[in-house]
Structure 1
Amino acid sequence: MVWPLVFWYNKPMKKTNYITQKDSKTMEQMVADLQLKLVESEKKHQEHIQSKDIIISALHHQLFVLKNAKFGRKSEKLEEDKQLDLGFDEAELLSSQDVTSEEVIETKTITIKKKKPGRKPLPSNMPYIEHIHDINDADKHCACGCALTHIGNETSEQLDVLPQVTYRVIHIRRKYACKSCEDTIKTAKPPKQPFPKSIATAGLVAAVIDAKFNRHLPLYRQEDMFKSMGAEISRTNLGNWVVKAAELLKPIVDKMVTQIQSYDVAYADETVLQVLNEQGKLSTSTSYMWLFGGGPPDKRCFVYQYHSSRQDAIAKQFFDSFEGYLHADCYSAYVNLDKSRIKHVACMAHARRYFVDIVKATKNKPGIAKSAVEWFAKLYAIEKRLKEDKATNEQVKQARMTEAKPILSEFKQWLLTQQKTTLPKSPLGKALFYSIKHWDSLTQYINDGRLEIDNNRSERAIKPFVIGRKNWLFNTSTKGADASSILFSLVQTCKEHSVDVFAYFKFALESVAKCNNEHDIQLLLPYNVNPELLKDQRIIPVLQYEDK
């Protein structure tokens, strides 16, 4: 039997890859890592979007603030919120106003005629002329034939004005000679003049200073004004007289500086100024006009100082010997002063302004910023009442300690709570940060009844300079800037004490040339000048006119 040959072919079996427990854990770790990276990536993406949103929001806020500053109302007063009017009598007020739709109310319209405000009488010390109006002599008889008797007058007043008058002042110095000896000749001495060998009188230069530094009228416009009155005076001459006047009056301002530094309550602020011909600087670069104020209320002075920079050293030098309270914003020049001598009183109005800008940008919608403004309103309400009551310094301090201090304590806790849930780089976050960072300085005012809740006094003092700067834009030289600072100091101090600016400068320029010692200079400080002497500066002389 033949057996068939059979060949067997064993096909190799496929190798099966089994996932071990170790491999499984590795894969799970990889998935977890990928998920973590995805979460982190998503988180970074959200943070990036959030960061951009914050920037966009901040830019929108900044744009609103800038547009509002240029085109909007300058007042920080907000529209009244009716909720703020509900005080302790809220229930009674609401119950008296609560009317359901089912009730029928009979209403009566009562028209109240508003009284017209009476016209204020003209000041009795104002110069006047009288016009007497009489009836004709023929009408001074009655129809019965008897003569009429004058029994009184009907008097009325009007206000008239004389445009600024220019006139010549002719000095005639008499000369005497001896008929016996021809060599003896005596001539009357010329009066002491602030501007010798010049056509300018103290009155003329006082008028120029008053117009430029009080009325903000540039010299080129004054040049045109004098020309229209028949006197051709170049603005170069006007400028030279102004600088010369500042040099003459500088000793008075030096006395004012001493007055500020010797009292224990002071004020400070600064603003930008452009000076064209300043050595070592481009004409487009920025310089600064610094304002320092202080002294007792009846002798308070304001001094402007021109400086080419805003360095901390300027404030440090001015307050080098000062000890007391300094009202100022939170610029480093004031914050970094010697704290052992100087207690910084920050401006509550600055802190409030951050929140007010947000409220305006959000169109007065309820929110954290509006709530903050309401906190500030409580503090300012106390100050307003104390001012209206004419409280003494001791009464002011007592009221602040008993009323304002508890409010401030609650306000700070509220600020800290809001800060925890607010983005730090947002406008609201910055507003909260500013108030919290400077809290000790912001609340310093409660410790002394002479202190003020804000630095508005110095801001009001520097505002006239800012207004004037818009008219003349820049100073042409450092000499002119220094002169401006001296004259602005005297103008603002005059206004602080309700002193006639023109009359003061006319009197001061006539008197300063006659001063012999420091005491004479002291008497020329604006608040020391006798008001009766200033009235004489406004007397209009009797003028003579030559026949043509």
Structure 2
Amino acid sequence: MRENGNAERHQTSANATSIIPKGIATPSLLSQIITGKFQYSLPLYRQETLFKQYGIELNRRTMSDWIKKCADALQALYERLHQELLKQSVIQADETTLNVIKEARSKCYMWVYCTGKDAPDKHNLTPNIVLYDYQPTRSGQCAVDFLQGFDGYLNVDGYQAYESTQATLAGCWAHSRRKFIETEKGISKGKSGKATMVISYIKKLYAIETLAQQSDNAEDAFKIRREKAPEVLASYKAWLEKSAQQISPKSLLGKAIQYNLNQWDKLSVYLTDYRVNIDNNRAERAVKPFVIARKNWLFSNTGNGAKSSAILYSIIETVKSNGLIPYDYLVKLFEELPKRETGADIDNLLPWNVKLTS
């Protein structure tokens, strides 16, 4: 719970305008429940127990129903964020599994698309957006549909589904490095020299990025990247091509080498535009809160419930990346949205525009 004082406040009848009129579903209580589950990974059965400690009888079925209604009310904001995401020059994407009990295929997927940075950055002119998209499959058509109309750069790992989109794919050097780290673990001690050498090349590329990020602006940072990275890349590719002729393609190391060669054009894209990232880590970090929470609640009952979760995770992660407190932001939304007509402009409620009072 946020604080003991909230218990009394939550028991007050929702006389003020609310997403869910009548009863005790005040904006503050709804925000408490949603941040409890989607920010702090507290399953509803645990929240039910916590509410009982404050003398509040609130069962998980009621809370689940409220969450669905709140997600429905936030659908327009989600769609507005989606529109903004598609306007950007670079998007990062990733996906992870989700078990949905009442789907034809229980193993479903939560796709994640994001732009900007993890936190406010004065040098970053791109809005910080994180959007989750629930889909029953991992088909490339899922990415095609979500990214319809987007023809910028798409930072991704080597998953082939993204090839179906209209975007220019940019590879992930962190994923590339991970292939060789996995190889090191699978090779006996004293025989991992080649994998270690490869990792040293990639470390040099990241050292260049660290140096570039110390620049005053993006153009200067890109200049450093363009001046220093090509030499390292040329040496690295020469090593890969030579080693590919000497090492069995069926070995762990051989597979890692072939992966890098197959991905080479995509891995080199970050040299063509300063807006493209060296890796896909922004998306991998964005999906992590969901992965952590999944360990607590394990599955979703229905596809509709998973869609509601996607909306609420999207709002919370986008708000966090814009330096706002999700609880305060949700209270603001739940106070303001009921006052507006369906289809009314909500741009002043976008996380980078909203005015919150402490």
What is the TM-score with the length of structure 1 in the denominator? Answer: 0.61
Q: Please, which of 438, 457, 462 is the counterpart of residue 282 of structure 2?
A: 457
Partner residue, 1:375:
201
Corresponding pairs, count: 347
* Residues 1:213 and 2:213 are matched in the alignment: no
Amino acid at match of 2:112: L
CA-CA distance at 1:519 after TM superposition: 5.9
Partner residue, 1:300:
128
CA-CA distance at 1:337 after TM superposition: 2.4
* Cα distance in structure 2, aligned partners of 1:336 and 1:165: 49
Amino acid at match of 2:143: A
Question: Is the contact between residue 51 and residue 57 of structure 2 (CA under 8 Å) also seen in structure 1?
Answer: yes
* Cα distance in structure 1, aligned partners of 2:141 and 2:60: 36
Partner residue, 2:143:
315
Question: Is the contact between residue 291 and residue 462 of structure 1 (CA under 8 Å) also seen in structure 2?
Answer: yes
The 5 A counterparts of 1:148-167 are: 162-163=3-4, 165-167=6-8
Partner residue, 2:111:
290
Measured at CA, do residues 247 and 380 of structure 1 come closer, stay the same or move farther in structure 2, by a change above 3 Å? Answer: same
User: Greater shift after overlay, 318-327 or 209-218?
Assistant: 318-327
Question: Is the contact between residue 364 and residue 370 of structure 1 (CA under 8 Å) also seen in structure 2?
Answer: no
Deviation by residue 1:154-205 (Cα, 9 ceiling, x = unmatched): xxxxxxx95463113257xxxxxxxxxxxxxxxxxx6432111332111001
Amino acid at match of 1:225: L
RCO higher in structure (CA 8 A, sep ≥6): 2
The 5 A counterparts of 1:316-355 are: 316-338=144-166, 342-355=167-180
Kindly indicate which of the two structures has a greater share of residues assigned to helix.
Answer: 2
Amino acid at match of 1:368: K
Partner residue, 2:315:
490
The 5 A counterparts of 1:98-497 are: 162-163=3-4, 165-167=6-8, 168-170=11-13, 191-278=16-103, 281=104, 285-294=106-115, 297-338=125-166, 342-362=167-187, 365=190, 367-387=193-213, 389-497=214-322
Amino acid at match of 2:6: V
CA-CA distance at 1:307 after TM superposition: 0.7
- Secondary structure at the counterpart of residue 269 of structure 1: strand
Partner residue, 2:119:
none
Measured at CA, do residues 301 and 428 of structure 1 come closer, stay the same or move farther in structure 2, by a change above 3 Å? Answer: same
* Cα distance in structure 2, aligned partners of 1:318 and 1:494: 21
Amino acid at match of 2:349: L
Once superposed, what is the RMSD of the aligned Cα atoms? 1.8
* Cα distance in structure 2, aligned partners of 1:324 and 1:486: 24
Measured at CA, do residues 275 and 297 of structure 1 come closer, stay the same or move farther in structure 2, by a change above 3 Å? Answer: farther
- Secondary structure at the counterpart of residue 101 of structure 2: strand
Partner residue, 1:178:
none
Q: What residue ranges of structure 2 are gaps of 5+ in the alignment?
A: 117-123
Deviation by residue 1:216-237 (Cα, 9 ceiling, x = unmatched): 0000000000001100111000
Percent identical among aligned pairs is: 36
CA-CA distance at 1:446 after TM superposition: 1.4
CA-CA distance at 1:361 after TM superposition: 3.6
Bigger Rg, structure 1 or 2: 1
What is the TM-score with the length of structure 2 in the denominator? Answer: 0.92
Measured at CA, do residues 511 and 355 of structure 1 come closer, stay the same or move farther in structure 2, by a change above 3 Å? Answer: same
Question: Is the contact between residue 256 and residue 301 of structure 1 (CA under 8 Å) also seen in structure 2?
Answer: yes
Question: Is the contact between residue 172 and residue 279 of structure 2 (CA under 8 Å) also seen in structure 1?
Answer: yes
